[in-house]
Amino acid sequence: MELDFTLAIARINEMLNGLIASLPNFGVAVIVFILFFLVAKIFQVVVRGISERSGLGVSAGIVFGRLSQWAIVLGGLLVSSSIVFPSMQAVDIFGILGIGSIAIGFAFRDIAQNFLAGILLLLTQPFRIGDQIIVSGFEGTVEDIQTRATYISTYDGRRVVIPNTDLFVQSVIVNTAKPTRRSQYDFGIGYGVDLDYTRRLILQAISRVEDVLQDPSPDVLIVDLADSAVNLRARWWTLSARREVITIQDQVIDAIKKELDAHNVDMPYPTQTVLLRNQNVSITEN
């Protein structure tokens, strides 16, 4: 039995001739794609600079620059494809992209949600890199805001990656949104102590702490008449960064305690309940 390869050879020759004929188009397509790629690089730098100068921040500039770059590169790919395959119409290309985008949307729904939430966060800027925030039980400093997630560094040196969707739909406390922040601490004094005199002592102690702000000025309020003490609340203002808040709070409490001790102000211990032979007995420690 003789094998006839004539049809196969003719088909191969036809394919080779078609490939050779398309080489000029392929070369033009490569040049066009390279031009689009270079334009995308330049456009990325321009968009990033505009975003940063408009006050959107470094992260927003990086993200929007990359998005613009990808959009131009995608456009270059479509144009290059139409040059290599002239029979392919733009409607066909967009139809393929539409079907692909639907499939990708179903497969990566969470990623798409986080991406959109990240874009909205970068546009609305409820917080920025360097801000100290509290969200979902985590507290720390914002390190980076990306399209999928936001990175915060906790005060004990750990990194927390929070999906942007959580930041967009949940309540976020931004401790450094304002330049100043109020702190407070409660003290208990005996019922026999002169309240006005004690208030003056506490305010004097607070005023001696160097980094406490005087505008707004510190104050002392009565917040409770407890069983064994009158509870006073000292309030003062500092810069909003956590280091300032914690450090100055330590200095303020120490200064108040020393001032009250120096003037023999009674600060009674709370009443404690002790169970003795199934009987509740209240014991006041002095």
Sign of the C-alpha dihedral computed for residues 245, 247, 250 and 254 taken in this order: negative
**Architecture of 188-262 per CATH?**
2-Layer Sandwich (3.30)
Give the rounded distance of the alpha carbon of 214 from its chain centre.
Answer: 31
How do strand 279-284 and strand 230-239 relate by DSSP bridges?
Answer: unpaired
> Residue 108 corresponds to which tokens in the numbers above?
């990566």
Sign of the C-alpha dihedral computed for residues 139, 145, 148 and 153 taken in this order: negative
CA atoms within 13 A on the CB side of 125: 16
Statement: 7-107 belongs to CATH 1.10.287 = yes
Q: Quick one: 37 exposed, middle or buried, by C-beta within 10 A (0-12, 13-18, 19+)?
A: middle
Residue spans per domain, the chain = 7-107, 127-174, 188-262
Sign of the C-alpha dihedral computed for residues 84, 86, 89 and 95 taken in this order: negative
10-residue block means of pLDDT along the chain (286 residues)?
Answer: 56 58 66 80 76 66 72 76 63 54 57 80 84 93 88 94 90 94 92 91 94 93 90 95 94 94 82 47 45
CATH dotted code for 127-174: 2.30.30.60
Give pLDDT, residue 113.
Answer: 81
Q: What is the radius of gyration, based on Cα positions, of the chain?
A: 35
Give pLDDT, residue 281.
Answer: 44
Give pLDDT, residue 106.
Answer: 52
Give pLDDT, residue 282.
Answer: 46
Give pLDDT, residue 96.
Answer: 54
